[in-house]
Each structure stands twice: as C-alpha cells, then as structure tokens.
Amino acid sequence: MTYVILQSCCNDASCVAVCPVDCIHPTPDEPNFMQAEMLHIDPETCIDCGACADECPVDAIQLDDDLAEDQRAYLDLNAQYYEALPMTCTSAVDNPKPWRTDDFSDLRVAVVGSGPAGFYAAKDLQTLRVAQVEVFDRLLTPYGLARFGVAPDHQATKGVTAMFQSLGKKKNLHVNLGIDVGQHISHAELLEHHDAVIYAVGASLDRQLGIEGEDLVGSHAANEFVAWYNGHPEYANHQFDLSGERAVIIGNGNVALDIARMLLANTDHLEKTDMAQHALDALQNSNIREVVVVGRRGPAQAAYTNPEILALLSHEGIDVIIDQTEAATDDITQTILDDRRTESSVRAKVRSAQEAATRIASGARKRLVLRYLHSPVKFDGREGRLDSVTLVRNRLELLEDGTVVAVRTSTTEEMKANIVFRSVGYRGSSVSDVPFDDHQGIIPNLDGKVIDPHTGEPLPGVYVTGWIKRGPTGVIGTNKQCAGQTVDQLLQDHLRGDLTAPIHPAGSVRTLIAERCPDAIGFDEWGRVDTAEQAAGAALSRPRVKFVDTESILVAARGLHDR
Ligand SMILES: Cc1cc2nc3c(=O)[nH]c(=O)nc-3n(C[C@H](O)[C@H](O)[C@H](O)COP(=O)(O)OP(=O)(O)OC[C@H]3O[C@@H](n4cnc5c(N)ncnc54)[C@H](O)[C@@H]3O)c2cc1C
Ligand SMILES: NC(=O)c1ccc[n+]([C@@H]2O[C@H](COP(=O)([O-])OP(=O)(O)OC[C@H]3O[C@@H](n4cnc5c(N)ncnc54)[C@H](OP(=O)(O)O)[C@@H]3O)[C@@H](O)[C@H]2O)c1
C-alpha cells in the first residue's frame, strides 16, 4: 500500500519533514520546489506509516485503498513524477542553519499582512522565541486569500487557517486587524517601534488585457468575482449579470478554473460551503449553461495545474468539450514531449486534454469548453454592455531560451456572450513610502531584503515575503518556504548588527493604534467573529456563514451578535 497526495495539496511540505523514508518530493531543498504544482509520494518507497497524512494541514493525503474512483488518477500523477525524475534526496535536516539557534529574545518584528505569507513568517519568528511579533492587516478578518481567494468548494484547503489560528494564543505574537499600514500607521512609525518590518501585503489588484472594450459593462476582472463570491466586504455589493447562457473566461490558470467551477456547480453542493449568501442566491438564479475558458497557448503550456484540471474533468454533471485540433500535438509540442528533461506535469496536461478531446458529450445541461491557442482581440458591445468577444487563433513559436510563445494568425472568430471574466493574473500595489517596482508589481528585493530601486542597496530592517515579493504565483505552502527565506535574511542581519533598535518601548505601538483606530480588533475579538460565523453555519450544515459587511463583523467582535 502507499499514501497518495491529492488535489488539495498546498505544498506546505509539513509532510516532508515527518516522512521517515524521504519518499515525498520535491522537498523544499530541491531546485524545482518553488515551481512545483504539488508534492508527490513515491509509491515504491512509501512504507504506509501515515505520518504524512497526520501532519498535512489540508487533508490532502490518503491511502491508495481508500481512494474514490475519481481520485485514482492522482495515484498515477504521484507515480509518474518519479518515472520522469529519479530523485536524489537532500532532506532539510542535512542543512542546519546555524543562525537559527541564537537568542532572539530582544527582537521586535512587525509583519504587515495576515495572509499565508504573513502568518508563515510570523509563525517562524514566534517559534524562534523573538520578543514580540506584531501582525497588522487592513481588514477586520485575517488570512488574506485563504479566506477571500480559495474557492468555497476547497474547504479542506482553508483548513490551513487552523494552524494560523492556534498562534493567537502565543504570548509573543499579537494580531491587529483593521489597520491599514500606510494609512493608519506609516512605514517610518513601524520602524520606530520595531527592529524590522516584513511586508506580506499580497497582490490583490487585477492585470489588464489592454484591448478594446475591456471596460464594457459585463467585462469583469477575476479578482472582483472571486472576492464577491467569497464575501469580501469591499465587493459584497458588486453585481454580475448571470442572465445569459454563456460566460467566457480569458486565461486558463487555476483562478479561471475556480470561476468556471463556481459558475457551473450545482448550487445544492455550494450550499454546503462557506460561499457568501448573496453569491449563492445569484448563482441559484443563474442561466449560465456554458463556460468557455480561453488559453492563449496549447495544453502543454496551460497555466492550470494537473490536480485542478483532473478534478474538473471528472466533475459530475458537466460535459467538458475540447476541440481535437486545438489539443493535437504539433511539431513544437512533440519536441517538448521528446525532451526527456520535460517535467511529468507537462506530459500529464497534454495527455489529459487529448483524452478529454476524444470524449463523447453526454448531453449534460452544463458544458465547460476548454479552448487553447486563442487570444482575445476585442470585446464588442451595444449601448455600453458587452455583447461578444472576438478571438484570434494563435500558433506556437519556440524561442531559443526554450520559452514557447503564442503568435497571432489572421484567423478570427466572434463568440456571443454578455459576461466575460479577465483571469490573466493578479497584480501587487504599492504601500506608501515603501519602494515599489511598478513594472513587475512587486516590492523590489534580493531574497526578501527590500532594496532601494535606484542604488540596488538593501534598506536596513525592511523585508518582504509572499506574492508581493515574488509576484502572484504559487500555492499556499509555497509561501512557507518564501517566508522562511525572508526570516533567514532578517536573522542574519540582526546577528551582524545591521538592524536599528526601536526608539519606542515595547507595547507602545498598541497605544498608538488604540488612539487612531478605535475600531481595530485583536485576535481574541476575531475569535468571537469566527465562532459566530461557525455557529450560524452549523445550524445550516455549512462550515460557516460569513459576515460580509464591516458593521456586522464589529458587532460580532464585540460579542453583541445574537445569531
Ligand atoms: C482566487 C484564488 C484562489 C486560490 N486558491 C488556492 C488553493 O485552492 N490552494 C492553494 O494552495 N492556493 C490557492 N491560492 C494561492 C494562495 O491564496 C496564495 O499563494 C496566497 O494567499 C498568497 O499569500 P500572501 O500572504 O502573499 O497574500 P494574501 O493572501 O493576499 O494576503 C495579503 C494580506 O495583506 C493584507 N494587506 C494588504 N495591504 C495591506 C496594508 N497596506 N496594510 C495591512 N495589511 C495589508 C491583505 O488584507 C491580506 O490579508 C489561490 C489564489 C487565488 C487568487
Ligand atoms: N487550487 C489551487 O491550488 C489554486 C487556485 C487558484 C489559484 N492558485 C494559484 O494562484 C496563482 C495565480 O493564479 P492565476 O490563475 O491568477 O494566474 P496564472 O496561473 O498566472 O494564469 C494566468 C493566465 O492568464 C493568461 N494570460 C496572461 N496575460 C494574458 C493576455 N494578455 N492574454 C491572454 N491570456 C493571458 C496566462 O497565459 P500564459 O500562461 O500564456 O501567460 C495564463 O493562462 C497560481 O500560482 C495558481 O496556481 C491555485
């Protein structure tokens, strides 16, 4: 028997550390770890001890004997990784970091952002017994995209927040919710109160396509729809016209697949999740029967990951339609497949698209159409409202550095639709007085040390982690390694004496906050909100019913809520 890693894998790698036979790869020390779609268990080496399954924060590991029929594809996905890439393992234990054994009991660190990256950094520092970790978030609820991004039908993934929640009881860690750094408190003030500041503010904006008609009514950025269905207070009042039968999604990353699933899902299923009630109501009345996901390159370059596409391909009640010519192996794809260095994940994408392209549609009421090799050229409308999307056919071109790019041909097609989602990636935004690279949408840095963009020199005491450090890619656990690297830089700078001690006494930052932001709340008050949401959910057999407006959150935080 062997354990198998499934769809909800978050790459947190907690499993790697507890495996007694090093059968889970890539490990955080291996070069391909940060780009890995998921982790894989080698069935030949696994001794089915179950340590990994016990440790996994998102319930992503199961014994092969217990797999449901639609999960058996993950058995192959795990095994194929080892067929393509025989491993030589280096476990983390082989690389001790001497600077981590020092005494940090005089160190005070501010972490800005309570998403996965901020919490992984805070957890790391808390475990190292630093004197004080002060976490700030502009919202009244913690966890960033783990609450407002991860799809409602991925409840197991949201389980990672339980690990963060447990930090609320630690004496040397304090969470301040409802504090916008740059607005309520400045960067300079944070530095006056701490030895170092780590920015983990994520990337919450959308990227633009730059095409005609992008601003028509009915053309929406993916981040807007995602935040709406997840109950983000700033998006709860947005409106989406779901009266047409077709929706088009531009881009084929995992966010595009999330949106497609939400639009096509059976709402009986969504009713058992923590989807915001306003979104459930709207989706219950939706007429959408067909979702078209448009990727500009071929299946081998699709931005979605295999665990996610496999789950969609076996989704009950949805026909997945793929044009055989768009999934066919052209010369460039053949060259890639013939190259033995090509990752097993690329082969799996080509295989699954080609297999799905041969399927005969069952005539289900709902259809997911996966298009490849097409880009949008313009959106057309009538009286300011979207009416159709014009796509151009692309061909692939292989560049000398191995990159495969989409090149437009002269063949176009028009597709009728009154709603389109632009799911072409997220984008970071600047924090006042902190350097920002507008081109890349990140805070400029060297391995997590923020640098002055003009001189390239590190700014003492200023660090960055997560999406605002690397750009908007990677799953939740990717941020654990990312945060670890940033914390390592901070510790080494501290030991070298490069940090400036705070000029204000410990705890004084909270006095400042209390004066300026009477509505800010701490983790204890968030605990009340959390309990109230879960209690409301329990009554309806749902994990929680989210509060979607600031006033209700504050009422629950003060213990005045009577649901
Ligand atoms: C739609 C979507 C679905 C996803 N689904 C999955 C999934 O199923 N599984 C998975 O493993 N990964 C998933 N991911 C990826 C995962 O969510 C990210 O890797 C992760 O959230 C990035 O963490 P972060 O901390 O850098 O950013 P975020 O999670 O965005 O956190 C940033 C935090 O900073 C706060 N902040 C911003 N500005 C300020 C400021 N000025 N002052 C104070 N606070 C501030 C924000 O309020 C936020 O709480 C998904 C991503 C998206 C977009
Ligand atoms: N379940 C999960 O684990 C989960 C769920 C959601 C998100 N996430 C993660 O979150 C990260 C962000 O996901 P994402 O989907 O927002 O981003 P993404 O993976 O970067 O995908 C962006 C998509 O937009 C396309 N695109 C970009 N510019 C375009 C243009 N001008 N015209 C047409 N297409 C364009 C890209 O095509 P090219 O590839 O050709 O550039 C790609 O298909 C990813 O790392 C993802 O894995 C994970």
Give the percent of the chain with pLDDT over 90: 84
Answer yes or no: is pLDDT of 54 > 80: yes
Q: Which ligand is nearest to the CA of 144?
A: 1
Q: What is the mean pLDDT of residues 297-322?
A: 94
Domain locations along the chain = 3-84, 99-204+428-517, 213-423, 521-563
CA 384/CA 244 separation, integer angstroms: 16
Atom of ligand 1 nearest to the CA of 465: 26
CA 303/CA 296 separation, integer angstroms: 10
Measure 150 CA to ligand 1 centroid, in angstroms: 9
Residue 185: DSSP 8-state = B
The model's confidence at residue 92, banded by pLDDT at 50, 70 and 90, is very low
Structure tokens at 512: 């400042």
Measure 468 CA to ligand 1 centroid, in angstroms: 10
- What is 213-423's CATH number? 3.50.50.60
CA 422/CA 405 separation, integer angstroms: 20
Helix (H, G, I), strand (E, B) or coil at 1: coil
- What is 3-84's CATH number? 3.30.70.20
Task: Encode pLDDT of 261-271 as tens digits.
Answer: 999 999 999 99
Task: Encode pLDDT of 397-410 as tens digits.
Answer: 999 999 999 999 99
Answer yes or no: is pLDDT of 563 > 70: no
- What is 99-204+428-517's CATH number? 3.40.50.720
Confidence (pLDDT) at 86: 56
Task: Encode pLDDT of 25-39 as tens digits.
Answer: 999 988 889 889 999
The model's confidence at residue 168, banded by pLDDT at 50, 70 and 90, is confident
Confidence (pLDDT) at 90: 44
CA 330/CA 351 separation, integer angstroms: 14
250 lines ligand 1 (CB under 6 A): no
Confidence (pLDDT) at 454: 93
Mean predicted lDDT score pLDDT of the chain: 94
Fold match between domain 99-204+428-517 and domain 213-423: no
Which amino acids bring their CB within 6 angstroms of ligand 2?
A: 209, 250-256, 258, 295-297, 301, 303, 305, 308, 375, 423-426, 472-475
3-state helix, strand, coil in the chain (%, to 5): 35, 20, 45
The model's confidence at residue 109, banded by pLDDT at 50, 70 and 90, is very high
Task: Encode pLDDT of 335-376 as tens digits.
Answer: 999 998 898 899 999 999 999 999 999 999 999 999 999 999
421 lines ligand 1 (CB under 6 A): no
CA 381/CA 307 separation, integer angstroms: 36
Measure 114 CA to ligand 1 centroid, in angstroms: 9
Measure 320 CA to ligand 2 centroid, in angstroms: 20
CA 442/CA 99 separation, integer angstroms: 28
Task: Encode pLDDT of 281-294 as tens digits.
Answer: 999 999 999 999 99
Tell me if 360 sits within 8 A of 285, measured CB to CB. no
Place of tokens 């077709």: 246
Structure tokens at 434: 């902190």
